Amino acid sequence: MLIDIQISHPFTSFEKIPVTIFEEAQEACIKVAEEIADLIRLKQQQGSNAVLGLSTGSTPKKIYAEFIRLHRQEGLSFKNVICFNLDEYFPISGESIQSYKYFMKENLFNHIDIEPKNYHIPDGQIGLENIKQYCEEYEHKIQAAGGIDFQLLGIGRNGHIGFNEPGSHISSSTRLITLDRITRSDAAVDFSGIANVPRKAITMGINTILSAKRIVLLAWGERKADIIKMAVEGPVIEFVPASYLQAHPNTSLVVDDAAAGLLTRKKAPWLTEDVEWTKQMTKKAVIWLAISCNKPILKLTNNDYNENGLSSLLVLHGTAYDINIKVFNWLQHTITGWPGGKPDADHTNRPERAEPAKKRILIFSPHPDDDIISMGGTFQRLTDQGHEVHVAYQTSGNIAVADDEAFRFVEFVKDFNQQFQINSPDAEKIFIDTDSFLQQKKSGEPDIQELRFVKGLIRKGEARNTCRFVGIPDENIHYLNLPFYETGTVEKKPIGEDDIKIITSLVQQIKPHQIFAAGDLADPHGTHKVCLDGILAALANIKHLDFMKDCWLWLYKGAWAEWDIDAIEMAVPMSPEQVLRKRYGIFKHQSQKDGVVFQGTDNREFWQRAEERNRATAELYNKLGLAEYEAMEAFVRWRF
């Protein structure tokens, strides 16, 4: 149902809420924290309270970290702050590590000087019969505090704000609601499986949120790009609750580049401003036009350009025919069956250099299966074409192995030892410890060290199996076990000096002509981004070294998302047999098959996701008028 709301903002662009885009979430969080800190200080000067509406989840964490820093290092006091949290799971105990009460204490309240009587979080243990009254009182408390001065929001992938799921009414107030399937599956990681995620929650209503004097909604990462576009550029509709914010006179969205990726000003910037027609911009526009008109590039006409806001390209190039040919050729030149360069060929229009014919190649794989999932076909070709291919597994990937799978291995070792009368007190102890730990393990509890070790070993064996299947020797496999990852929980440490040192020394040892790394920043736990940051920091440290002049860095995606077609600089086609072979390579990762620990909302297995993405890339090339392949892997070159 469309809701008739008069938008009071004078925005004429596609965006109906002011959006500020930052390159990185960190920078954005500092800015937003500063705005809130200014409000707190102003209220202090006025001798009154600052009333904040707060959210939980991964999005606001850096804001809270900045509050703690401001408190510790700059003396910002929270004595005059009154907080109301948006929501809480129901039922849940405040002691439970998944509760929002626990989250708020851990991430903020325990580290600042706020008075405990001044923070309010809906009680996840209130009796069902009292909930209605409890929710009314929550509303009264907000009003009694003078209303919310500043409301911080995240956004769910289904557009929820607070836990106002799709379908929530604009006049809703604090209440008990039923959680949506997407919300529950996004929370599954924290609860060790969707079955453990509560089905209900208490949440402030849309009206409660819209009554705040100022609202800032934050969003980070590619995963939020779709919903940000709908909330900002789409109609006000109850199925996208965040779109109600269009009706609020003092709301801002603060997003990073990735979350802004689908806004018209990013997707088709020529529609919102004057652009400089660089090669990249021209390619982007022509591909966009072909897709919008549902035509291959070579069939686009002058009319198509004129009618779709691209007449300035015609002015620049003359006719559609001239632009079409140019862009068609650019795209054609991205396709190569020789990802390591074609020996003895003229490489002027090829993505890779011909020389040296045999290259040293280093593939970085953040988790033990990203190499084969994201670039299995290319990995195989590089090996078959005689290059010296190395793979570096950056993390152990140990948190993604199911407990019963790990215990099966521990038991196997015990039985094996028994059968052959091998006396191994250590193996015996690991068996006893893991057994007793698993008997009483609570949902979400980090594993004991031994179990983590076993899980890491399982993934190491699977990675080795893939490498042997592809055909690279064992000595070319490098397990980096980067320390940042080894927290035992989904939450990782930031990249540190130790991690960077390990990466640097491997690159220096191999002196690669080509590096492949995951640029797949939609990974829900952020590990891929940290792994890439580590590589970039390592390469920056050694960029002055001689061999680095000949070192090209290629980024792949695949497990979670694919590059936009206009960004692709190398597309490696795959035959039907190669697609099957890649599938078998992915099958080597048995612990990641048949329902994985971190399935996310995508129910497909990794081999299915990879295959469908690779097929979609090939289909898109074909739709644009290029040759028809079974599948394609895609890469973007990172220029230092």
- The binding site for ligand F6R (CB under 6 A) comprises 55-59, 86-87, 154-156, 160-163
Query: Tokens 């206009």 identify what position?
Result: 566
Query: Do 99 and 66 meet the contact criterion of CB atoms below 8 Å apart?
Result: no
Q: Is the dihedral of CA 206, 211, 212, 218 positive or negative?
A: positive
Question: For 374-490, where are the E strands, in sequence order?
Answer: 388-393, 477-479
Nearest Cα neighbor of 634 from 580, 576, 579, 555 is 555
Query: How many residues belong to the chain?
Result: 640
Partners of residue 390 on adjacent β-strands: 362
Cα→Cα distances 579→378, 468, 610, 633, Å? 11, 18, 10, 10
494 CB neighbour count, 10 Å cutoff: 11
Other C-beta atoms closer than 10 Å to the C-beta of 461 total: 15
Nearest residue (CB) to ligand F6R, 178 versus 311: 178
Cβ(568)–Cβ(635) under 8 Å? yes
Phi and psi, residue 492, nearest 5°: -110, 165
Phi, psi of 40 (to 5 degrees): -60, -45
The answer to whether 165 is a known catalytic residue is yes
Q: Of 15, 88, 165, 630, which is the active-site residue? A: 165
Q: Of 173, 191, 3, 34, which is closest to residue 97 (Cα–Cα)? A: 191
Q: Which DSSP state fits 456?
A: H
Cα–Cα distances (Å) from 259 to 5, 291, 375, 466, in that order, read: 26, 22, 25, 34
DSSP strand E in 91-245: where? 119-120, 150-153, 175-178, 200-203, 214-219
Nearest to ligand F6R of 51, 155 (CB atom):
155
Angle between helices 403-419 and 425-440 (to 10 degrees): 150
Closest CB 89 distance from ligand F6R, rounded Å: 10
Count Cα neighbours of 91 within 13 Å in the Cβ-side half-sphere: 6
Beta strands in 267-419 (DSSP E): 360-365, 388-393
Q: Compute, in degrees rounded to 10, the torsion defined by CA atoms 161, 167, 173, 178.
A: -80
Q: Return the exposure string of 546-584: e unless at least 16 CB atoms fall within 10 Å of the residue's CB, then b.
A: eeeeebbbbbbbbbbbbbbbbbbbbbbbbeeebbebbbe
Q: Which of 415, 535, 414, 406 is nearest to 459 (CA)?
A: 406
- The values of phi and psi at residue 97, to 5°, are -70, -15
And the tokens for 400? 């993604």
CB of 66 to ligand F6R, least distance (A): 16
- Give the nearer residue to ligand F6R in terms of CB position, either 81 or 86: 86
CA distance 263 to 255: 11
- Catalytic amino acids? 165
